[in-house]
């Protein structure tokens, strides 16, 4: 396996994970904020549904995505009209990675928002800032450590995503073949040396991401800690 092949697969993996995380972040923030701040009927059901991608077989998620994104699925006419063909593209890989990482992101954000004293949001509003400005200037800055932790977790999960991706994006060298898919196809072909090289690259990426999370994001912050008595 050539070095440029390894580089391009690593690049594609990072690209997919980055797009996956970026795509899911706004939705995760909105849902997590609603869960952390409001009580409503059906909340446990919503929470259970949100956790599903974490516990369902990834292959089953892949099939679900195939139905949702494929031209032969119920939404097929829509994709036809829009002229987009997501299945077997790297976008499909990004969507698959976004779906499986979503529960991790929502949970981390919900926890982070829950830790922000809602009275601080009230104070902000009493000072003339609307709910939207209050979110950007008070809630999100105070929750940012937990939110970033969730982002890194979801990003790391996306780096290694295999099952759903293989179904909905296929294993197309140069187009959708991320590191995880590359390892599998090389093992299938008996190319153990290539598989090991990709494993090593995956290891480095995953370890770097988790080190960032554990070093800077999980540690309780002095800056955002409670004020001394």
Residues that bind other proteins (CB under 8 A): 117, 119-120, 122-131, 134, 137-138, 141-142, 222-229
Q: What is the DSSP string of 114-134?
A: HTS-HHHHHHHHHTT--HHHH
Q: Which own/partner pairs from 116-121 qualify as long-range (CB within 8 Å, at least 24 positions apart)?
A: 116/142, 116/143, 118/37
Shortest reach from residue 144's CB to other proteins, in Å: 8
Q: Which of 55, 127 has the CB closer to other proteins?
A: 127
Q: Which of 42, 225 has the CB closer to other proteins?
A: 225
Nearest CA-CA partner of 162 in 50, 57, 8: 57
List b or e across 195-212, with b for residues whose CB sees 16 or more CB atoms inside 10 angstroms: bebbbebbeebbeebeee
Cα–Cα distance measured from residue 32 to residue 38, given in angstroms and rounded to the nearest whole number = 10
Shortest reach from residue 125's CB to other proteins, in Å: 4
Q: Which of 71, 125 has the CB closer to other proteins?
A: 125
53's CB contacts (< 8 A; 6+ apart) are 61, 99, 100, 102, 103
Cα–Cα distance measured from residue 34 to residue 193, given in angstroms and rounded to the nearest whole number = 48
Shortest reach from residue 33's CB to other proteins, in Å: 17
Shortest reach from residue 51's CB to other proteins, in Å: 30
Shortest reach from residue 134's CB to other proteins, in Å: 8
Cα–Cα distance measured from residue 24 to residue 29, given in angstroms and rounded to the nearest whole number = 9
Q: Which of 79, 224 has the CB closer to other proteins?
A: 224
Shortest reach from residue 217's CB to other proteins, in Å: 16
Please check whether residue 165 is in contact with residue 20, taking contact to mean a CB–CB distance below 8 angstroms: no
Q: Which of 72, 119 has the CB closer to other proteins?
A: 119
Q: Which of 110, 121 has the CB closer to other proteins?
A: 121
């Amino acid at each position: 396996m050539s070095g440029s092949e390894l580089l391009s697969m690593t690049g594609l993996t990072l690209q997919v994970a980055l797009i996956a995380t970026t795509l899911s972040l706004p939705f995760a923030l909105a849902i997590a904020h609603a869960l952390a701040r409001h009580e409503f009927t059906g909340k446990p059901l919503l929470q259970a549904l949100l956790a599903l991608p974490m516990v369902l077989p990834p292959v089953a998620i892949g099939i679900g995505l195939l139905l949702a994104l494929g031209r032969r699925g119920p939404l097929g006419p829509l994709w036809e009209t829009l002229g987009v063909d997501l299945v077997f593209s790297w976008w499909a890989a990004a969507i698959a990675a976004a779906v499986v990482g979503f529960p991790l992101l929502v949970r981390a954000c919900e926890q982070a928002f829950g830790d922000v004293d809602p009275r601080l949001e009230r104070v902000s509003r009493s000072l003339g800032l609307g709910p939207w400005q209050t979110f950007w200037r008070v809630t999100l800055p105070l929750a940012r450590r937990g939110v970033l932790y969730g982002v890194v977790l979801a990003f790391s999960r996306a780096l290694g995503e295999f099952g759903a991706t293989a179904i909905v994006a296929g294993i197309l060298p140069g187009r959708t073949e991320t590191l995880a898919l590359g390892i599998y196809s090389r093992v299938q072909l008996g190319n153990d040396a290539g598989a090991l090289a990709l494993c090593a690259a995956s290891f480095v990426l995953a370890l770097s991401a988790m080190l960032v999370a554990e070093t800077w994001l999980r540690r309780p912050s002095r800056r955002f800690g409670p004020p001394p008595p």
